[in-house]
């Protein structure tokens, strides 16, 4: 039981990543829940910019910039967690790319303000790496991940590289790398039976070797932050294995920049370790809930992103 005897929901916590941002995000939470409002204010103060105003009023082009989208999504997730408080008890947590930072907040290892500063810096470093060496990403639909990997290997020639970057679901893999190699890999994927290859609007080749220049700066930022022992494990993107050691968490967040997001394996690991528990996606949108249904058919899932959803959860 939580405070005042309220029932506690034990669940697998899912934290969304970049792409889930939209103008207006989180505003209803701030209006209805003081704890959420305080979270947005703390992030604004930590970053020294009115991020919440950008989240609520736009412009969209500015919100979509990597260095803004990342802390905005983290702030929204953390505002939801603040609003539901002890009524939600993670048994484990996992987050997609930047969502891994939100997951560490959710299990008590990282403060909201430290996490916000980290993902702001991470976004800046990733954008700089993208300016230094232009990259591209594309989603490959309805093709086995092994086939996608083969296509990327075939396309990586003449000093250009393409790699599987996000292993999102059994029928969706995002590839990343030099624009020429990504285009060739997309053609190879189509030839091998992919239904579609969809170019993504990104500022760099995320989760690929092209992000290597950003890694050193991120590792310096991570080293300056206090990581506590988490209450429960976080399943790391880079290994798809549960992590409880703070030093290991820091190391894997650095590695995550250049490593693929092993989302399918991560979700299956969480489901296997916690059979029968519901999954709760906290933050904007329902992208991870959609992927979950493909990865673990029949899994119980709940989204907590809007004030109405939080209200229903608290009253249930």
End-to-end CA distance of the chain: 14
As a dihedral over the C-alpha atoms of residue 285, residue 287, residue 288, residue 293, rounded to 10 degrees, the angle is 120
Q: Which of 259, 301, 298 is CA-nearest to residue 282?
A: 301
Among the options 203, 207, 208, 266, which is catalytic? 207
Q: Which of 121, 117, 120, 25 is CA-nearest to residue 79?
A: 25
Contact 31, 310 (CB under 8 A): no
Q: How far is CA 177 from the centre of its chain?
A: 19
Among the options 97, 102, 169, 203, which is catalytic? 97
How many residues does this entry show for the chain? 316
Residue 248 CB contacts under 8 Å (≥ 6 apart), including other chains: none
Is-catalytic flag, 52? no
Cα distances (angstroms) measured from residue 206 to each of 27, 133, 190, 196, 284 = 29, 12, 22, 20, 21
Helix, strand counts (H, E) of the chain = 14, 10
Is-catalytic flag, 207? yes
Per-residue tokens: 59: 């412009």
Per-residue tokens: 27: 């505003």
* Distance in angstroms (rounded) separating the CA atoms of residues 247 and 49: 30
**DSSP class per residue in 53-81:** HHHHH--HHHHHSHHHHHHHHHHHHHHHH
What's the Rg (C-alpha) of the chain? 19
* Distance in angstroms (rounded) separating the CA atoms of residues 191 and 184: 11
* Active-site amino acid positions: 97, 207
């Amino acid at each position: 039981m939580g405070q005042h005897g309220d029932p506690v929901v034990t669940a697998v916590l899912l934290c969304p990543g970049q792409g889930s941002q939209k103008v207006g995000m989180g505003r209803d939470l701030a209006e209805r829940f003081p704890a959420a409002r305080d979270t947005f204010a703390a992030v604004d103060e930590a970053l020294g910019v009115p991020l919440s105003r950008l989240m609520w009023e736009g412009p969209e082009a500015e919100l979509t910039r990597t260095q803004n989208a990342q802390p905005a999504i983290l702030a929204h997730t953390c505002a939801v967690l603040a609003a539901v408080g002890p009524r939600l008890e993670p048994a484990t947590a996992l987050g997609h790319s930047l969502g891994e930072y939100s997951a560490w907040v959710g299990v008590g290892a990282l403060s909201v303000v430290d996490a916000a500063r980290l993902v702001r810096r991470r976004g800046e470093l990733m954008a700089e790496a993208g300016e230094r060496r232009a990259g591209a990403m594309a989603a490959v639909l309805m093709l086995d991940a092994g086939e996608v990997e083969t296509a990327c290997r075939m396309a990586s020639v003449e000093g250009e590289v393409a790699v599987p970057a996000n292993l999102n679901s059994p029928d969706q893999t995002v590839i990343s790398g030099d624009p020429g190699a990504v285009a060739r890999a997309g053609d190879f994927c189509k030839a091998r039976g992919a239904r579609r290859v969809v170019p993504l609007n990104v500022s760099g080749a995320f989760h690929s070797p092209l992000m290597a220049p950003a890694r050193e700066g991120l590792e310096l930022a991570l080293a300056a932050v206090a990581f506590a022992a988490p209450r429960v494990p976080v399943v790391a993107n880079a290994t798809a294995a549960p992590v409880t050691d703070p030093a290991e968490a820091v190391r894997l967040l650095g590695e995550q920049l250049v490593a693929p997001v092993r989302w399918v394996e991560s979700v299956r690991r969480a489901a296997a370790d916690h059979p029968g528990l519901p999954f709760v996606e906290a933050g904007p949108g329902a992208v991870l809930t959609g992927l979950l249904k493909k990865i673990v058919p029949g899994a119980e899932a709940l989204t907590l992103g809007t004030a109405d959803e939080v209200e229903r959860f608290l009253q249930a």
